[in-house]
Structure 1
């Protein structure tokens, strides 16, 4: 029986990214147990630690791909704590990652604790924009800043925000997002010409 269990666990690790799903479950459960509900205009925070499985081939700092992975956990936590996930799932809708931009300012060295602060910075009729800051806890330095464009499928953003607090005043589009969206549109137009 023990041998069978070990084979099943090994197959799960080969076929699926088990640690990813365990981490998602942990972040959501931890948030529900120890973190209060948040308004849409408030910042949520998750914590991380750069382990040997996070580093690049030089074994000194976090791999660029790991930043994107951590964004998933931060986003799921934000959705759950603000009530966005509840509103999306109530109508069988989806939030689809449409684009992400990230700017690395300084590496996160191995064995360094950090936090990811997440906040809603802008929205339009079909899309929300979420900013994530990677901050090392020992010096409070912003190591990287990412913005993700989340396309809302199956409901409008107005319906997504229904019953939630903190979205009463729509912010003006930050210049960095406005310029980034121009770049995304130019890229999309170029690809449409090829198709």
Structure 2
């Protein structure tokens, strides 16, 4: 089940938070609840992806994207992701989530998210490729930024992000069937 009440809590909690620049980092605190765990009593890998929404949506709100999406009747969708899991998050454990945009190109916005344990260890790290869409398809990041009143050139893609983008271009679509 989607954590609607947790999302509402995050949106209310950060409704008056200071505005962030486009590449600013949104930091939020979360707890691994029993509804988030798997049979091994730790945060389920699929639930991790869902919980990352709790960072992405308030980030979008704080940079001014949510207001533009509502005004233009646009949507945001995830067009790809890769996650690295390194440390277990156990039931009732607190984590700090960090969310930020790291790059954009002619079609997509690349978002980096991570969860950090209280001892300072990074538990997981994700890179998302997001797209803003309307009824006709993808709205270019330049158009979105202009609607946000921000004409900013994309930062240089970190090498690891550029490598991921390049690797994704070699992946067949649709996937091969046996």
TM-score, length of structure 2 as denominator length = 0.87
Deviation for aligned residue 1:189: 4.1
Unaligned runs of 5+ in 2: none
Runs of 4+ aligned structure 1 residues displaced above 3 Å come to: none
| Deviation at residue 190 of structure 1 after TM alignment | 5.8
1:32 match: secondary structure: coil
Matches within 5 A, 1:100-119: 100-119=81-100
Higher helix share: 1
Is residue 53 of structure 2 the alignment partner of residue 69 of structure 1? no
How far is the alpha carbon of 1:149 from its aligned partner? 0.4
Q: Secondary structure at the match of 1:188?
A: coil
Which structure has the larger Rg? 1
Post-superposition CA distance 1:163-192 (Å, at most 9, x none): 455x7342212222222223322223463x
Deviation at 1:151, TM superposition (A): 1.4
Q: Higher mean Cα deviation, 121-130 or 103-112?
A: 103-112
The residue number in structure 2 matching 1:38 is 20
Structure 2 counterparts to residues 143-162 of structure 1, below 5 A: 143-154=123-134, 155-162=139-146
Q: Is the 8 A contact 2:102 2:110 kept in 1?
A: yes
Q: Deviations over 1:38-89 (max 9, x none)?
A: 1112100121111222222022x21111210111111111111110111122
User: Is 1:83–1:164's contact at 8 Å kept on the other side of the alignment?
Assistant: no
Residue 131 of structure 1 is matched in structure 2 by 112
Aligned match for 2:156, one of 172, 175, 190: 172
Unaligned runs of 5+ in 1: 1-16
TM-score, normalization: structure 1?
Answer: 0.80
Whole-Å separation in 1 of the counterparts to 2:170 and 2:45: 25
The alignment covers a number of residue pairs equal to: 172
